[in-house]
Amino acid sequence: MQNIKLIREDFPALSRNINGKPLIYFDNAATTLKPKSVVAAMDDYYLNGAANIHRGVHRLSIEATDKYENVRKICQKFINARSEQEIIFTSGTTLGLNSLALSLAVQKLSHGDEVIVSAMEHHANIVPWQLLRERKGIVLKVLPMNDKGELETQHLEALISPRTKVLSCVMTSNSLGTINPVKHITAVAHAHGLEVIIDAAQAVAHGSIDVQDIDCDYLVFSGHKVYGPTGVGVIYGKEEKLKALPPALGGGDMIFSVTWEKTIFADGPVRFEAGTPPIAEVIGLGAALEYFMALGSENVERYESTLLKRAQAAVKRIGGLRIIGEAKEKVGILSFVIDGVHPHDIGTLLDGAGIAVRTGHHCTQPVMAFFGIPATTRASFSFYNTPEEVDFFVEKLTEIQKFFST
């Protein structure tokens, strides 16, 4: 990465010492660190205005509304949507997926109708559909994966029946790092008239997203995974789809008029934004996406891939280490197990060396069950990480493995 020293200065957390050692932050798939510009944008809103949006005629409210609405344009550019009217703000991927599941349930799912998800979904794209299975009697089908952690898309067509209405699939797996061929999957699903939802929670931070190219009907992501604040996320929906979709939540701001007899909903994305939204967080998200776009998603992708390759090649020399997720197309996520060492012990010992990784099932228990393991250790890389950090991590990991094997 060019100017890595300058980039790192944008993230004050990277100058901290943890347990007497410089912090090495490899927990980026859980959440990314935030650059100063994100915090400054949120501070500016809170310190110089903090007014509510849309409803006020006074200056502060108009300023806040302008800033908030401007982020729709930034998001539009970020995912190459046709219009900013296709951008809905929500609290994150989880609420985005739940809202879409509820809206689609009202719009088109009856008892016996089928929804397809993939074998590598985050719980956020499993549980909402299981709730619908309990409440409405829908059927949940699973597109399988192989031992490398790649989806067996050749089986997709056979899974689809006349009762299949929705396909909801993760773009990049958070526990395996696999990049799924979502454009192809969408094309197959569309050929059978399915609605397609893409969970881009992990994909957003590792490369470019082009919703027009993918041609999905809906796509969701969280701000905090892409260097923005927590508590904010985006639902993208094709404009014509959103026009026909009933809102999952009701309340203030999403209406045109309310009488005791009837509510007429507002037009456009605000129809799906009931109540006071996370205004500061939306503004922070705008700053984060501008930061990310200025780096260039291709540069980020290329750089993180070199970190991943360096780490993968080195850890393969550690005895008893097995990489979980060896797909051909991967982002900078390295999940692994070491014979005889519990991931939590690995995580704790790495923390002692100042290295933050994630251990556990990563909210993908069916993935863990598939590989016959309870948990992995996951190192996930960002553009602000360095090859030297990767080398130090591998050195510590080697020591840990030796310690437990003697």
Residues in contact with ligand PLP by the rule CB under 6 A: 92-94, 122, 124, 170, 174, 199, 201-202, 222, 363
Active site residues: 363
Residue 87 CB, nearest distance to ligand PLP (Å)?
A: 17
Residue 73 CB, nearest distance to ligand PLP (Å)?
A: 23
Between residues 125 and 385, which has the closer beta carbon with respect to ligand PLP?
125
238-244, Cβ contacts within 8 angstroms, sequence gap of 24 or more:
238/82, 238/86, 239/82, 239/83, 239/85, 239/86, 241/195, 241/217, 242/85, 242/86, 242/88, 242/269, 242/271, 242/272, 244/107
Residue 202 CB, nearest distance to ligand PLP (Å)?
A: 5
Residue 244 CB, nearest distance to ligand PLP (Å)?
A: 25
Token code pair at residue 331: 């982002």
Residue 203 CB, nearest distance to ligand PLP (Å)?
A: 8
Between residues 39 and 363, which has the closer beta carbon with respect to ligand PLP?
363
